[in-house]
């Protein structure tokens, strides 16, 4: 299973994005500055946007989903219970998993932004995806919820997971790092080798590298354990 991007080029007015590379099975972290083109790349990966040149080939991908930054975009039902059921998931199990067991009869739009994000993510992780694309999954979550999300990601059984994020404090263990900059998205390689090439690395990782330590992965815990 893989998503292969062959010499793709996309432009809209002054904005351009080019990319060649392969998203193999595993967890991919994609970072880049505001407006660099992360959401555009996410849309190209799913086929919601078509490149002007080149091709995006999804091989062996049967099920895929794209989680938008704004959880409101995903709401289709009038109650939390029905919303969870719409994903084919067990409402009580999922509501319990995201701490909303006492809100199952509420309108999803009466939840706070963070609660709605938690609900949406818990629905996604209630099933396995071949290709799971998450645009800013950490936004609106507090530190405790971010750690829960990291655990769901690390324990999840998605084939290819692609995380687009600005998050720089609570990060999951990942397999590959990508960077979007100067109109190009590129894979920096597998972790841990890619960490030293990661310009957008969070300060705690940069500091560890400056001190000569070699973390096995990108989490704060990896830095603490690194020699």
Ligand X SMILES: Nc1ncnc2c1ncn2[C@@H]1O[C@H](COP(=O)(O)OP(=O)(O)OP(=O)(O)O)[C@@H](O)[C@H]1O
Residues that bind ligand X (CB under 6 A): 12, 15, 32, 34-40
Task: Return the number of the residue (35 or 196) whose C-beta is nearest ligand X.
Answer: 35
Rounded Cα–Cα distance for residues 29 and 31 (Å): 7
The β-bridge partners of 15 are: 12
Task: Return the number of the residue (41 or 124) whose C-beta is nearest ligand X.
Answer: 41
Minimum CB separation from ligand X for residue 166, in Å?
Answer: 6
Minimum CB separation from ligand X for residue 91, in Å?
Answer: 31
The β-bridge partners of 23 are: 3
Task: Pick left, alpha or beta for residue 114 (phi over 0 → left; psi -120 to 50 → alpha; otherwise beta).
Answer: alpha
Task: Return the number of the residue (30 or 123) whose C-beta is nearest ligand X.
Answer: 30
Task: Return the number of the residue (87 or 164) whose C-beta is nearest ligand X.
Answer: 164
Number of Cβ within a 10 Å radius of residue 46: 17
Name the token pair of 7.
Answer: 């010499």
Name the token pair of 118.
Answer: 């938690």
Task: Return the number of the residue (36 or 145) whose C-beta is nearest ligand X.
Answer: 36
Minimum CB separation from ligand X for residue 36, in Å?
Answer: 4
Minimum CB separation from ligand X for residue 148, in Å?
Answer: 23
Minimum CB separation from ligand X for residue 142, in Å?
Answer: 20
Tell me if the bond preceding 186 is cis, omega within 30° of 0. Answer: no
Residues contacting residue 160 through CB under 8 Å, at least 6 positions apart: 1, 2, 3, 23, 24, 25, 26, 28, 61, 130, 131, 132
């Amino acid at each position: 299973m893989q998503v292969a991007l062959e010499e793709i080029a996309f432009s809209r007015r002054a904005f351009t994005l080019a990319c060649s590379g392969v998203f193999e099975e595993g967890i991919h972290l994609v970072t880049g500055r505001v407006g660099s083109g992360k959401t555009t790349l996410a849309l190209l990966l799913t086929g919601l946007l078509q490149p002007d040149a080149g091709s995006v080939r999804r091989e062996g991908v049967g099920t895929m989903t794209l989680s938008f930054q704004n959880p409101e975009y995903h709401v289709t039902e009038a109650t939390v219970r029905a919303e969870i059921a719409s994903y084919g998931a067990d409402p009580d199990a999922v509501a319990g998993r995201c701490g909303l067991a006492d809100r199952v009869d509420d309108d999803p739009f009466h939840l706070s932004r963070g609660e709605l994000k938690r609900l949406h993510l818990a629905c996604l992780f209630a099933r396995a995806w071949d290709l799971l694309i998450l645009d800013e999954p950490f936004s609106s979550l507090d530190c405790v919820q971010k750690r829960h999300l990291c655990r769901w990601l690390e324990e999840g059984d998605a084939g290819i997971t692609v995380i687009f994020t600005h998050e720089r404090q609570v990060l999951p263990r990942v397999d590959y790092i990508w960077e979007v900059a100067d109109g190009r998205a590129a894979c920096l390689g597998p972790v841990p080798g890619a960490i030293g090439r990661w310009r957008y690395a969070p300060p705690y990782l940069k500091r560890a590298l400056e001190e000569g330590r070699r973390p096995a992965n990108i989490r704060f815990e990896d830095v603490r354990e690194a020699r």
